[in-house]
Structure 1
């Protein structure tokens, strides 16, 4: 709906009341100033004007289809009434009030057309009302009338501009208020999402770090328990190793819960993986074969950390859940793709359940733009295969 329509609808009841009041005053004034025939003509035209105004301000169908015709009719009727009663100021006031309505027309061409019609009819009314008398005086009266006309038009334009500016300011303030509310809601959602993601990251880090360490610790203690009576020296070495694992786990726990610290970088991927292998080497029954290209050390730190965590989680899961004792690890780069293959001899399974550990591996790989496949069959071990494009990451 256009601005002029909103303006009319919002003020329709006020206009009806004012129009009725004007009708009574007008009839009282013209009763003693017009003859019988003029009074009848005036009454018919005036009632037609009031009916036209009423329909234009209350009927939405007229606003949509016949608004401009109705406005033009009001201007013409007001001009004719002004010719019949040139001394009746209230008709002149009504005639000029249409200018404010014209200024609400959004279409500039139609707005200029209605202003031209309004000005032309006003010129005709002034000329008709000044036909009698001296021509020189009439020209002066016409000139004064047009000076007053354009002065009034200018004042109405200033009033209209101020009113529109106030309305636009109100709308802008309302938009800003709504935008501020939405921004606060968005900021709150972002904060909640950030907290949730940080909690997930910390939980994953605790699971990955402590899950591996505790599994290794339990296995060392069980091995020490079995060999304590037969081989005390070997058991003592295993216990010392278990103590070191416990200390290391405590340090890792501090790192995991400290959410403000960045992920630690892996300086040497091969050395870090060998440290993992060394934790199980003292048990005797765990064998891990590692094949790794040296050029992997030039990888982006995020890649090396991801690979390290994937290997750590895979070893932990396979030993803890699959009873694996033999692992084959391959890490290499081919055709701008980083490939990691981990195969064990565990008990395997026909249906893979995505635990927190496997989900953690998958999420880390996806973050780097890669993908991971898990494959397993009963009594055939577990296979993890990772591929990550690295042509933009090295």
Structure 2
């Protein structure tokens, strides 16, 4: 019982409280009650209190059933000791059924309990009829209804408690699975970034090496061409450094969520400094509650768009708008590049589209010759899954 929530323990305490209030009534049940009956009531009260304490410490089922059996014998004795007293003697039996079915779930227990009750009623009515030559039908109906009602309540409480425990276990499992999925997504992202570093930076460094070799050979022959070649080497080195900075920043998990917008702004500032592109960025809403996977995807989509705008669109001006609300995230990006009448989905656009589809979003492209390129993205606001919560609130509310 100690592992049960506080509201169930309160119900368990009310049970013994009802017994302690109910049993002393028998002191006044009859005007000339014998002393041994007084001793019987006092003895059963002590027994009920002792069993109440034992319920808390009986972990094994057989000991629990033994304590419940003693409780039942003590409760059922009231019907024989105070025979014909016109008192609801079976109320305490109902409380025994309450605690029994709160603890145990078994179809065999239901059958055994019904057989026990039938045997008790037959025995009690037989004794009552032979000694008093009468049977109180109303008392039988009332007592039976009360016992059945409390037994049914005990079953409902046990069912509800088990459902809560199963829900808590499923919640913990689902939270662990979510963490595993998040870790796999992060690992996948790192692998993809590593591949991008190999492809983009490796290509730049190879070109830089070739250009340096050309510069070395041109230097004694034509210093002007050698100087132009050095300028190209400098641009290649800047581009490679920019790729390294952006890739490393995207891989950093620590404080990523808190510094997400700062990372976007740093990406834009660095890109603008290297390419000379004028980039405006506006954001609204709280992005800190958005899952890390969505944030990483948005970061890489902005990076890919800027790269395409510079390399393919020759854009000098780009506008980026990021809005986040409780239901969705909207990202609109527009440049003043050359544009095209026929949009061909290359690696960059396909990469952006795949990222959006992974999160169940929509991806739209519009462009025309001389009118630049526009990308509109809408992603459901996938909040960080299964945040840590107060277990006490979840289990005992």
TM-score (structure 1 length as normaliser): 0.47
- Structure number, greater radius of gyration: 1
TM-score (structure 2 length as normaliser): 0.47
Larger RCO (CA under 8 A, 6+ residues apart): 2
